[in-house]
Chain A
Amino acid sequence: MQIDQLNILAVGLNAEIMAVVNRLINGHEQWKGTTVCTIAEAIAAFSKEQYHIVLLCAGICEETASQLKTTLAGLSPATIVIRHFGGGSGLLESEILSALSQHNIRLN
Chain B
Amino acid sequence: MAKSILHKADTRGNADHGWLKSRQTFSFAGYYNPERMGFGALRVLNDDVVAPGRGFGTHPHDNMEIISIPLEGDLQHQDNLGNTEVIRQGDVQVMSAGTGVFHSEYNKNSDRPVKFLQIWLFPNKLNVQPRYDQITLNLEERKNKLQQIISPDPSGPGTWIHQDAWFHMGTFEKGKILTYELKDPNNGVYIFVVKGSFTVDGQPLEARDGLGISETSTVNISANEDNAEVLIMEVPMHIPQNS
| A→B interface (CB under 8 Å) | 12-14, 16-17, 20, 57-62, 83, 85-91, 93-94, 97-98, 101
The complex places the Cα of A86 from the Cα of B120 at a distance, in Å, of 9
Q: Which residues of B contact A91 (CB under 8 A)?
A: 27-28, 43-44, 120
| B→A interface (CB under 8 Å) | 27-32, 34, 37, 43-44, 59-64, 97-100, 102, 120, 122, 126-127, 241-242
With beta carbons under 8 angstroms apart, the residue of A17, A61, A83, A89 that contacts B100 is: A17
Are B44 and A87 in contact, CB atoms less than 8 angstroms apart? Answer: no
Are B62 and A90 in contact, CB atoms less than 8 angstroms apart? Answer: no
With beta carbons under 8 angstroms apart, the residue of B29, B98, B100, B102 that contacts A90 is: B29
The complex places the Cα of A93 from the Cα of B27 at a distance, in Å, of 9
With beta carbons under 8 angstroms apart, the residue of A88, A94, A97 that contacts B59 is: A88
Given contacts A85-B43, A94-B32, 4 further A-B contacts (CB under 8 A): A12-B62, A14-B60, A83-B241, A86-B62
- Distance (Å) between the CB of A98 and the closest chain B CB? 6
The complex places the Cα of A87 from the Cα of B101 at a distance, in Å, of 9
Q: Which residues of B contact A59 (CB under 8 A)?
A: 99-100, 127
Are B126 and A62 in contact, CB atoms less than 8 angstroms apart? Answer: yes
Q: Which residues of B contact A16 (CB under 8 A)?
A: 60, 100, 102
Are B99 and A58 in contact, CB atoms less than 8 angstroms apart? Answer: yes
**6 pairs, A vs B, C-beta closer than 8 Å:** A58-B100, A61-B126, A62-B126, A85-B64, A86-B120, A91-B27
**Contacts A17-B60, A58-B62, A61-B127 known; A87 to B97 CB distance under 8 Å?**
yes
Q: Which residue of A lies closest to B66 (CB)?
A: A86
- Distance (Å) between the CB of B117 and the closest chain A CB? 15
With beta carbons under 8 angstroms apart, the residue of B27, B44, B59, B98 that contacts A20 is: B59
Q: Which residues of A contact B64 (CB under 8 A)?
A: 85-87
